[in-house]
Amino acid sequence: MHRFSLVVASLAATTSAFAADALPPLAGGAMTTPHISGYGELYLGGLRFVGDDYTTRAGGGAARVNIAFAQRWNLQGDLTYNRIWGHYDPLDDTRGAIHGYYRDPDTFAAGLFVSYASIGQTGVTVNNYAIGPEAQLYLGNLTLYGQASVGQLTINDFHGDQWGVRGVARYFVQKNLRLDAELDFNQTDYNGTSEHVVGAAVQAMYRFDETPWAVFGRYEFEQRKFETSTEGIKANKFVIGLRASFGSETLFDEDRNGATMDTHGAASVINTK
């Protein structure tokens, strides 16, 4: 039986052990001069579907570049690649996105994004187009990030209308220690039925002081369910990764002045079982 599913999500928490080192609220840290910044990252891990006896390999990478121009206007481009292989037939997921937005690094950022995804496995080709608004609110060491989107999902010659919402919280325990929290909901409407994908994830990232290098670990959960079905398909995924940044001094600086936007990505793809 062939099954298919995508997800992404994230959630974070912090502890009082870092309270003494926590960043004070931003004060005069805004960078307004035009600049180019971004990062590239690679990650590797495993994925298991609930009720399955096998863990399959999962890996990929991402590159994001942000260009600040006309003082506070920004244009960002994203490219991501994910692959699932091992016990199941290999599946490749390639995604691209463009963000255009206005940012005041002391208070907020707001704009629009467009994205495209191409997902392929033997006998199945999936394409996804989406567009929507996005905004970030900066509250001292906390960044709140919201997105909404509408689009279309195409599976071979079959089309479905799609919409989704996404919420992210990023907390900076220190300028180079970031904890993430994310929730995501996506619905695809087919002829007479709908498919729902709900996801959640947690992530922790640490950047070594005065270097471009950062390490991270991320856990994701996803459930995919048709409204006509009583049971859903669930998956768990964990990856560890390495990031190299340019044009920013810290993770906090990157979030408020650099490539801070992203999009919903694939957490799991359900293949032949």
Which pLDDT score, from 0 to 100, does residue 27 have? 38
CA–CA gap between residue 25 and residue 236 (Å, rounded): 35
pLDDT above 80 (res 230) = no
The band of 200, judged by pLDDT with boundaries at 50, 70 and 90, is very high
Q: In angstroms, rounded to a whole number, what is the distance separating the alpha carbons of residues 228 and 251?
A: 44
**pLDDT confidence band for 54 (50 / 70 / 90):** confident
- In angstroms, the CA 197 to CA 187 distance is 6
Question: What does DSSP assign to residue 40?
Answer: E
Please give the Cα distance from 59 to 241 (Å, whole number).
9
> Looking at residue 254, what DSSP letter applies?
H
> For the purposes of burial, counting CB atoms within 10 Å of the CB of 24, is it exposed (0-12), middle (13-18) or buried (19 or more)?
exposed
Distances (CA, A) of 84 to 34, 225, 237: 39, 21, 11
Residue 34 has pLDDT above 80, yes or no: no
pTM of the model: 0.84
- Spatial CB neighbours of 220, under 8 Å, sequence gap ≥ 6: 7, 8, 9, 10, 199, 200, 201, 236, 237, 238, 267, 268
Average pLDDT rounded to a whole number, residues 137-148:
98
| The predicted structure's pLDDT at residue 10 | 32
Residue 65 one-letter amino acid: V
What's the CA gap between 45 and 59, in Å, rounded? Answer: 6
Which of these ranges, 3-12, 113-122, 184-193, has the smallest mean pLDDT?
3-12
The pair of three-digit structure tokens given for residue 29, joined into one six-digit string: 């840290």
| Residues 55-80: tens digit of each pLDDT | 899 999 999 999 998 889 999 999 99
Q: How far apart are CA 158 and CA 190, in angstroms?
A: 9
Q: Strands (DSSP E) along the chain, which ranges?
A: 36-49, 56-69, 73-85, 91-104, 108-121, 124-139, 142-155, 158-174, 177-190, 193-207, 213-226, 233-246
**CA torsion through residues 117, 44, 259, 139, sign:** positive
- What pLDDT does residue 201 have? 94
* Residue 16 banded pLDDT, cuts 50, 70, 90: very low
- pLDDT number for residue 120: 80
Residue 32 per-residue DSSP state: -
Residue 256, SS3 per DSSP: helix
**Cα(212)–Cα(198) distance, integer angstroms:** 34
d(CA 66, CA 68): 7
